[in-house]
A and B are shown apart, each in its own frame.
Chain A
Amino acid sequence: MKKPKVRNGKILFSEYTLGEGVRKALTLSREDILFEIKDSKLKGRGGAGFPVSTKWMLGAAAIAERKYIICNADEGEPGTFKDRVLLVEYPELVFEGMVIAGYAIGAKFGILYLRGEYEYIRKSLQDFLELMRKENLLGKNILGKEGFDFDIKIHLGSSAYVCGEETALIESLEGHRGEARNRPPYPVNTGFRGMPTSVNNVETLSCVPHIILNGGNWFKNFGTEKSTGTKLFSISGDCEKPDVYEWEWGITIAEMLEKVGAKNTKAVQIGGASGICIPKSQFNRKIAYEDIPTGGSIIIFDKNRDMLKILKNFMEFFVEESCGQCTPCRIGNTKLLEGVKMIENEKYTFAYLDKLKDLGKTMQIASKCGLGQSSPNSFISILENFKDEIFYHENGDANGK
C-alpha cells in the first residue's frame, strides 16, 4: 500500500474528520438533504455529468421494498486514476457519501463495485468498513437514528471497461456478462434486481459529505455558473509532476499545463481514450461543462509524440473493450482501427477516410451505450486536429522523429 501523501485542495482534499458528514446529515430531514444537493448543482463526476439531485429525487420518490446505492468504482478510462486516490486516501468521504445517499433516498443497502485491477485496495476498504461499523456509522440505527439502517459491501469486478456504464455494471453485479441494458427504464426505477438503484461515481459521492457540512451555496462559490465545485484531474503523460490534482472547474488547459510542469506540449487528450484531443492552438479553452466537459483524465503529449500511434493505441483499446452486443460499436471500432492501419501503411484514400468519419458519426448516434457513442471521438478529433502532421508530414518525412 502506498504511503498517503499530503494533498491540498479546496473541497475533496481539505480537512475532514470521520463521521462529521453523516452526523450533520442525520440532524436534517431527507428533503433538506435533497434540496441542499440540488442547491449545490452537483453533477455526476464520472463523465456524463447528470445532475445528482435529479437522480436522487427520483430514487427517493420511488416506492419499493428495497432500494440500492451503488458506488461505481470501475474507473477504466485510460489515464484515469483519481478514484484510486480517493479509495486509498479518503475512504471516509466515499463511504459517508454512500450512507448519506442511503438516508436521502431511503435505501438500506450499499454496494461498492471495485474494478478487478484494484483488488489490492479491497482489504483496506473492508477494514475501513469494519471501523465504521464499530463507530456505528454503518449498521443498525446509525448514530442513534431510530430506523435508519445501512450497510455496505464490496463487489469485485473482473476487468471489463464497459462495466463502468451503469446498466452494464448492474448486469455484472447480477452475475451476467457486463452488457449494457436498454434505457429506459433507468436504474433509478428498475436497477439492481429490478429495484430502484442509484449508481454514483466515487468522486460524486465524496463531494456529498462536504456539501452537507458546508451547504450547497458554499459549494457554488467554487467553479463556474454551470459547473459548480472542484474537479479531480488525473494527469499523466509528458510532464514533470503527474498526479491527481483538485482544481476548480473553469481552469484553462494552459494553466493546467503550467502547474504540472509540462513543456513543449503539442496536444492534450481530455477525457481519456473516449475524449477529445486538443491541439496547442486551443489551449486557452476551459475545462467545464460550458466548454470541454470531462471525467478528469488528462494525458499530455509533447512535440516528439506520433499522434497516429497514439490514435492506434486508443482504437486497439476500444476494439478489445467493446462488449460486442451492438453492431455499430462492434464492427465500427474494428473499421476505424483498420483505417488507422491504412494510414500507417499509406494505403488509404481520402474518400475512404471521409466515409470512416461518417461511420464514426453514425456510431455516436446508433451505439447502445456510452462506449460506442464516445469511442469515435478520438478518431475524429485526432484526424481533424493533426491532419498536417499525419498526412502532410509537415515536420519532414520522418514525421518529426
Chain B
Amino acid sequence: MGRFKVKKQDMFIDMTPMSDVMVLLLTFFMLTATFVKDEPVKVNAPGSVSEIKIPEQNLLTITVNPDGKVFLGMDSPQNMEKLADKMKETGSLTLTAAELEQFKDVPMLGTSIDQVQQWLKLENRNEYLNKGEKAGIPCDSANDELKVWVGNARAALGEGEKMRIAIKADKATSYKVIKDVMNSLRSIDENRYNLITSLAGEDK
C-alpha cells in the first residue's frame, strides 16, 4: 500500500492544545458546579414545567418526607448560627457553646425544640431523622413549632429577599401535612414561598 514508495510519516497528532482547552473547560465546570448538599432526608420532588430557578443564598428549606414528617434546613452554617442566636435571644432554645458548634454544621433539623439538645448529642443524628420515632418538627394546630423556627429565622435574617422559604415535599406526601405547613406559615404572615419541583418528566 504505497508504503514502499512514500516515506513513513509520523502519524503522531499533537494533543497538547486539546488537553489545554480541556483542562480549562474542566476548571470552569468544577468551579461553577454547585454540588448537591448533603441531605439526610431524601425526597422525590414532583415534576413541573416551571422554569424558575431556586435562589442559592439565604434559603430556608422546609422538607416534608412521604410520612409527613417536617424538617428544616438553612443553606449555610453562618445562617444556622444566626438562627441559633436568635432562638437564644427569644428564649426558645438555649444551646451551650459546644452544642452551638454542632448545631452550625447540621444540614437539617427535625425534632421538637425540647429534644434538640438530646438529638445533638447523638452519634447517628442523620439516621435518627429518618428512623427515629420522635423525628419531625411538630406542625399541627395543637403544637406548632415550625412557626417558632421560621419566625426566628425570619427575625435573624431580615425581611423579604433576605430570606426565602422553600417547601420541598415528596410526591407521595399527603396534602394534609402540606396544608398544615402552609397554615403554619400563614399564621406568621409568610405568604410568599417557593415550592421546589424537579424538571418536568411528563406530557408537556
Tell me whether A and B are bound partners: no
Which residues of B does A touch, CB under 8 Å?
Answer: none
